[in-house]
Amino acid sequence: MKKRLLLISNSTNYGENYLEWPKHHISDFLSKTGVKRALFIPYAGIALSDQGIESSYDAYEERVNRVFNGLGYNLYSIHRERDPVQSIRDALAIVVGGGNTFHLVYMLHELKLMKPIKEMVESGTPFIGWSAGANIACPSMKTTNDMPVIEPQSMSCLGLVPFQINPHYLDANPEGHGGETREQRLEEFMVINQNIYIVGLREGTLLTVGNGKISLSGKKPMRVFKAGETPREYSGEDDIGFLL
């Protein structure tokens, strides 16, 4: 298996700088590839500027690039490329930022980027995604938490891993809250989709995939769901190879 993936639940923990907690994981991941320049996909970042979506993409690229530059890497954004499909094929690494999963998936289908991204990553191009960017590595976006601000052509995603991720997974049921918990929402998914695992990936955690193996990093365990099975907790010391 040539795929090399870094799938991060969230970019920023409360009270920290942007990408502060995962930045050393990102650096370690990229250092093993020899890559110094990566293509950034900003399409989930639609509310980072009051000057319109293109300006939001600009702001997103600048924000992420500041962190990557500090680690010794450089990003260039696909929204500036004249031929987005060719830019995917030429990329040495692909980085997908978080934000609104519906808009991200809409754009990837609209620009016909799903297939070339999948082909490149499966042939060995390193892939990093956080939040929505991690969600799209799954077979579909159906376990996102996001508002459906736009309707994609399809909810199908890259299928780089055979399970679903629920980023920012929360156990909490706030006092006075009468709606469903996150677990109850995922149970609804499992009623319709009974043969697929879901990883509840808590904030401050990430999954690394490479050499046919998968591991969890971070200070919290992850919660794994599947229809007909009792949800289980897994720490970074546990073997989670069954997910692949």
| Phi, then psi, of 127 in degrees rounded to 5 | -130, 130
Q: How many residues does the chain have?
A: 244
How does 165-175 read in b/e, with b if 16+ C-beta sit within 10 Å? bbbebeeeeee
Could you give the angle at the alpha carbon of 20 between the alpha carbons of 216 and 25, nearest 5°? 35
Type of residue at 150 = I
Rounded distance between C-alpha atoms, residue 243 and residue 106, angstroms: 27
Instruction: Show Cβ contacts of residue 226 under 8 Å, excluding neighbours closer than 6 positions.
Output: 190, 196, 197, 198
Q: Which among 11, 56, 77, 131 is annotated as catalytic?
A: 131
User: Which residue, 215, 187, 191, is CA-closest to 201?
Assistant: 215
28 is catalytic: no
Tokens found for residue 162: 């055979």
**Which tokens go with 99?**
């934000």
Residue 109 annotated in active site: no
Active site residue 146: yes
Catalytic site residue from 25, 27, 49, 168:
168
Active site residues: 131, 146, 168
